[in-house]
Amino acid sequence: RAKRDHRGQHLQFAAPMGAEARDRAVLLAELRAAIENADLFLVYQPQVHLDTGDLIGLEALLRWRTADGRLVPPDEFIPVAEHSGLILPLGRWALETACQTLRELQTAGLAPARMAVNVSVVQLRDPGFFDMVCAALSTNELQGQHLELEITESVVVLPTQLLQSTLNALRAHGVTIAIDDFGTGYSSLSYLEQLPLDRIKIDRTFVQQLGAPQGGRVAEMVVQLGRKLGLQVLAEGIEDATAWQTLQAMGCHDGQGYHIAYPMDKAALMRWLAQA
Ligand code: C2E
Ligand code: MG
Ligand code: MG
Ligand code: MG
């Protein structure tokens, strides 16, 4: 917060906090404009069953291409959107667009079973969230089973009752729930038993350690934990055949990653699906 001295002039923001705040304000203004100009789009990454290689679903990921052709990574702009509340319209657009794409693919006979969409804790807290999800599904003639929502450990900041009732309502509607980036948050493990979940996603940092000596221990532990809890386990960031085989041998059910396919825009995805 800027302070005024006795002459009423603004004092300089102290670096680095001031610089960050300015950057964020600029980014926010640019993001608002990008949404208006439709400079945001979704890419889709296939998820497969490790035993058979069969496609089990797609994950929708947001992309922002600026006027000069630069791609801004979501890790940069999602936090800004969350702070400003812009994540509500943005997240809604992503969900609706992902549902529309899944419907289009199914109509084209390229029917992947399910679309996974990342949701922010800010969206989950919104009282209209459940109705918004139901509307996105029914508008696109989809069932709850066609949708998976990916949440992160950050949801533990929400009141447990709100969280449980929202997730229970979604699951009663057929929507499945995945916990994303598992093991990278700060929460205790107890929420795993309290939350109604269907899937654990092993964070790619643990998958990338598979190549190192003793590097697979965390991934293996997460697979065992997930299986013990009766959850499906999906590894993200599978970048080579060795990682695939190692995870499969550990009992990990499913996976996604550059070795299987990169996230693709809709046109590239349709070509990929037609070949597969
Ligand atoms: P995430 O949901 O954990 O997504 C996985 C990230 O790993 C994606 O990064 C994806 O492009 C990347 N990835 C996939 N396979 C590989 C691989 O083999 N190797 C490596 N190194 N990376 C791989 P991306 O697209 O930059 O997304 C980053 C994060 O941004 C996502 O992490 C998610 O938390 C967030 N995000 C993306 N789209 C949305 C959205 O629509 N809503 C919300 N709330 N968050 C989103
Ligand atoms: Mg995700
Ligand atoms: Mg993840
Ligand atoms: Mg992530």
Residue that the structure tokens 């598992």 belong to: 182
- Check if 46 has its Cβ closer than 6 Å to any atom of ligand 1: no
Nearest CA to ligand 1 atom 17: 237
- Check if 62 has its Cβ closer than 6 Å to any atom of ligand 1: yes
| For ligand 1, mutation pick of 31, 58, 118, 129 (most atoms within 8 Å of CB) | 118
Helix H, strand E, coil C: the string for the chain is CCCECCCCCECCCCCCHHHHHHHHHHHHHHHHHHHHCCCEEEEEEEEEECCCCCEEEEEEEEEEECCCCCEECHHHHHHHHHHHCCHHHHHHHHHHHHHHHHHHHHHCCCCCCCEEEECCHHHHHCCCHHHHHHHHHHHCCCCHHHEEEEEEHHHHHCCHHHHHHHHHHHHHCCCEEEEEEECCCCCCCHHHHHCCCCEEEECHHHHHHHHCCCCCHHHHHHHHHHHHCCCEEEECCCCCHHHHHHHHHHCCCEECCCCCCCCECHHHHHHHHHHC
Q: How far apart are CA 224 and CA 209, in angstroms?
A: 17
Spell out the residues 6+ positions from residue 58 whose beta carbon is closer than 8 angstroms to its own: 44, 45, 46, 47, 102, 112, 114, 115, 116, 269
Single-letter amino acid code for the residue at 180: D
C-alpha 121 – ligand 1 centre gap (Å): 16
Indicate whether this complex's ipTM tops 0.85: yes
Ligand 1, atom nearest to 263 Cα: 11
Bridge partners of residue 178, in order along the sequence: 150, 199
Cα angle value 152/224/241 (rounded, 5°): 85
Bridge partners of residue 45, in order along the sequence: 59
Q: How far apart are CA 138 and CA 244, in angstroms?
A: 36
Single-letter amino acid code for the residue at 137: L
Ligand 1, atom nearest to 87 Cα: 44
Structure tokens at 101: 């794409």
Confidence at residue 2, expressed as pLDDT on a 0 to 100 scale: 41
pLDDT by 10s per residue, the chain, length 276? 344 444 334 444 444 456 677 788 888 888 898 888 889 999 999 999 999 999 999 999 999 998 888 899 999 999 999 999 999 999 999 999 999 999 999 999 987 789 999 999 999 999 999 999 999 999 999 999 999 999 999 998 899 899 999 999 999 999 999 999 998 887 778 888 889 999 999 999 999 999 888 889 999 999 999 999 999 999 999 999 999 999 999 999 999 999 999 999 999 999 999 987
- Check if 41 has its Cβ closer than 6 Å to any atom of ligand 1: no
- Check if 47 has its Cβ closer than 6 Å to any atom of ligand 1: no
- Check if 237 has its Cβ closer than 6 Å to any atom of ligand 1: yes
Q: How far apart are CA 12 and CA 131, in angstroms?
A: 46
Which ligand lies nearest the alpha carbon of 201? Answer: 3
Check if the beta carbon of residue 30 is closer than 8 Å to that of residue 66. yes
Nearest CA to ligand 1 atom 8: 61
Report the sign of the C-alpha dihedral through residues 90, 95, 98, 100, in that order: negative
